[in-house]
Chain A
Amino acid sequence: MTEHAIIMRAVNKYYGAFHALTDIDLTVQPGERIVICGPSGSGKSTLIRTINQLEAIESGTITVDGVELTAGGDNVAKVRRDVGMVFQSFNLFPHMTVLENCMLAPMKTRKVSRAEAKATAQHYLERVKIPEQADKYPAQLSGGQQQRVAIARALCMKPRIMLFDEPTSALDPEMVKEVLDTMIDLAREGMTMLCVTHEMDFARAVADRVIFMNKGVIVEENAPEAFFGNPTNDRLKNFLGQIA
């Protein structure tokens, strides 16, 4: 077991001339739950997408579980096997059943047998409380159910870190809770989690640290009580005033 789950050092990311991430330094301990918030375009999604290199960075280093992403070789593949991701738009594979969605990656990248992949898939579908939907296609499920399948699909890879990119933003209000409850369960079991979300109740309930980003910079970083109770940054005060 390495000491740190994630270490980001002086990370910079550009989209053409747009400076999306500026000198990001962030260290995450194993088991830590971090919530990242900020106005749209502040770079919060970009930040977590650099951790499994869905976005390449221009400078700096990112080390995940002791593996340096930028060092080449098959490091990126190694990191992706250990880092699960849940997207705003679910991104389930529509031509596969729920079960097949959960079995594909373990069979292809972890080389587990079909029987084992199926058992693992059923186990995690049970945990996100939709085992009865296993043979349906994603389009037959509600948004909340689809997102829970997406969480199960990521868990089937037995990741050590989970990234959530606005997992409830595309959901109808009545479905937000079922997804947040699933995430809270996961947090209680000690999963290392980074969540980009505007669900501040969720942040208060589970986060060890809340990070506020603005214009590609980490502006404020604090435990939830201090973050919400005593914000120092003006931009953050303004932001909290608007979403509360």
Chain B
Amino acid sequence: MIREFTSAELLFIVGAIRWTLILSAIAFLGGAIGGLGIALARTSQGRALRRVAAGFIQVFQGTPLLMQLFLVYFGLAVVGLPINPLLAAAVALTLHASAYLGEIWRGAIQAVPQGQSEAATALALSYSDRMRHVVLPQAMRLAVAPTVGFLVQLIKGTSLASIIGFTELTRAGQIINNATFKPFLVFGTVAALYFMLCWPLSLLARRMETRMRRAITR
């Protein structure tokens, strides 16, 4: 029995946006915390710490996100946790985002002139005060635009969670397609919805970049 593509089907797909957003938000917030740790480790004095962080980044940048999702999904069972698509997707995307944000923020931290850190050190500020009050506020300004850019990548990346059975936007589209057999219409709708999420963010990133450039040349 083939169903029609009606407003009920459309609503089902639109409703799944919330899971895409929830998953993106978890991954972004988790990735922000993890990424800050990675960025600080990458720019620290400790050689071992720098190497571990560099290794982490290389592993997650050098393997497909889909494999990371698989490994975490099946890995949950290995460590005795119940197989849960949301948990697996959240953990995998958080690790993925930590690596990418860590690398973006490392670059931003290193772009703050060495003299800033030296002046703060000469004023007897501790490492944490130096970072909190002097280096990170300046690095943040540089990092805002690429960070928003990465958020767009992350939102699109959540579509892979459909493969491990998590019902977000893409998976909702698959379900409706299986019932209606109107792939072009269904996936066209899904793609349009992603675009409506991502396009404003891309615009925002570009505007921030222009503003940054103007602020620097002030």
Chain A residues with CB under 8 Å of chain B are 52, 54, 77, 80-81, 83-85, 87, 89, 91-95, 104-105, 108-109, 139, 150, 153-154, 157
A105, B118: Cβ atoms under 8 Å?
Answer: no
In the complex, what's the smallest C-beta–C-beta distance from B73 to chain A, in angstroms?
43
B115, A91: Cβ atoms under 8 Å?
Answer: yes
B124, A77: Cβ atoms under 8 Å?
Answer: yes
Partner of A104, one of B122, B125, B126: B125
In the bound complex, how far is the Cα of B122 from the Cα of A89, in angstroms?
14
| Between-chain CB contacts (< 8 Å), 20 pairs | A52-B122, A54-B118, A77-B126, A80-B122, A80-B124, A85-B119, A87-B119, A91-B113, A91-B115, A91-B118, A93-B116, A93-B120, A95-B137, A95-B141, A105-B123, A105-B125, A109-B129, A150-B119, A153-B123, A157-B123
A139, B116: Cβ atoms under 8 Å?
Answer: no
In the complex, what's the smallest C-beta–C-beta distance from B133 to chain A, in angstroms?
6
Partner of A93, one of B119, B124, B141: B119
B134 CB–A CB distance under 8 Å = yes
B121 CB–A CB distance under 8 Å = yes
- CB contacts (< 8 Å) of B125 on chain A: these are 104-105, 108-109
Among A85, A108, A109, chain B packs the most CB atoms within 10 A around the CB of: A108
Given contacts A94-B138, A108-B133, contact A54 B123 (CB under 8 A): no
Tell me which residues from 87 to 125 in chain B have a Cβ below 8 Å from any Cβ of chain A.
Answer: 113, 115-116, 118-125
B214 CB–A CB distance under 8 Å = no
- CB contacts (< 8 Å) of A81 on chain B: these are 124
In the bound complex, how far is the Cα of B113 from the Cα of A104, in angstroms?
19
B47 CB–A CB distance under 8 Å = no
Secondary structure dominating the interface of B? helix
A154, B124: Cβ atoms under 8 Å?
Answer: no
In the bound complex, how far is the Cα of B123 from the Cα of A109, in angstroms?
8
In the complex, what's the smallest C-beta–C-beta distance from A169 to chain B, in angstroms?
14
- How many A-B pairs have beta carbons closer than 8 Å: the answer is 62
Given contacts A54-B118, A87-B119, A108-B129, contact A95 B124 (CB under 8 A): no
In the bound complex, how far is the Cα of B125 from the Cα of A85, in angstroms?
13
Closest B residue to A100 by CB, please name it.
Answer: B133
Given contacts A91-B115, A91-B116, A93-B116, contact A104 B123 (CB under 8 A): yes
Chain B residues with CB under 8 Å of chain A are 113, 115-116, 118-126, 129, 133-134, 137-138, 141, 218
Given contacts A54-B118, A87-B118, A91-B118, contact A154 B123 (CB under 8 A): yes
B129, A91: Cβ atoms under 8 Å?
Answer: no
- CB contacts (< 8 Å) of A83 on chain B: these are 122
- CB contacts (< 8 Å) of B113 on chain A: these are 89, 91
- CB contacts (< 8 Å) of A95 on chain B: these are 137-138, 141
Question: Closest 5 CB pairs between A and B?
Answer: A91-B119, A105-B123, A80-B124, A85-B122, A91-B115
- CB contacts (< 8 Å) of A92 on chain B: these are 119
In the complex, what's the smallest C-beta–C-beta distance from A85 to chain B, in angstroms?
4
B121, A80: Cβ atoms under 8 Å?
Answer: yes
In the bound complex, how far is the Cα of B120 from the Cα of A153, in angstroms?
11
In the complex, what's the smallest C-beta–C-beta distance from A186 to chain B, in angstroms?
17
In the bound complex, how far is the Cα of B121 from the Cα of A83, in angstroms?
11
In the complex, what's the smallest C-beta–C-beta distance from B138 to chain A, in angstroms?
6
In the bound complex, how far is the Cα of B113 from the Cα of A157, in angstroms?
23
In the bound complex, how far is the Cα of B120 from the Cα of A85, in angstroms?
10
In the bound complex, how far is the Cα of B126 from the Cα of A80, in angstroms?
11
- CB contacts (< 8 Å) of A139 on chain B: these are 218
Closest A residue to B132 by CB, please name it.
Answer: A108
In the bound complex, how far is the Cα of B121 from the Cα of A89, in angstroms?
15
In the bound complex, how far is the Cα of B123 from the Cα of A192, in angstroms?
17
Question: Apart from A93-B138, A104-B123, what 16 extra A-B contacts exist at CB < 8 Å?
Answer: A54-B122, A77-B124, A77-B126, A80-B123, A87-B118, A87-B119, A91-B118, A93-B116, A95-B138, A95-B141, A104-B125, A108-B125, A109-B124, A109-B126, A150-B119, A154-B123
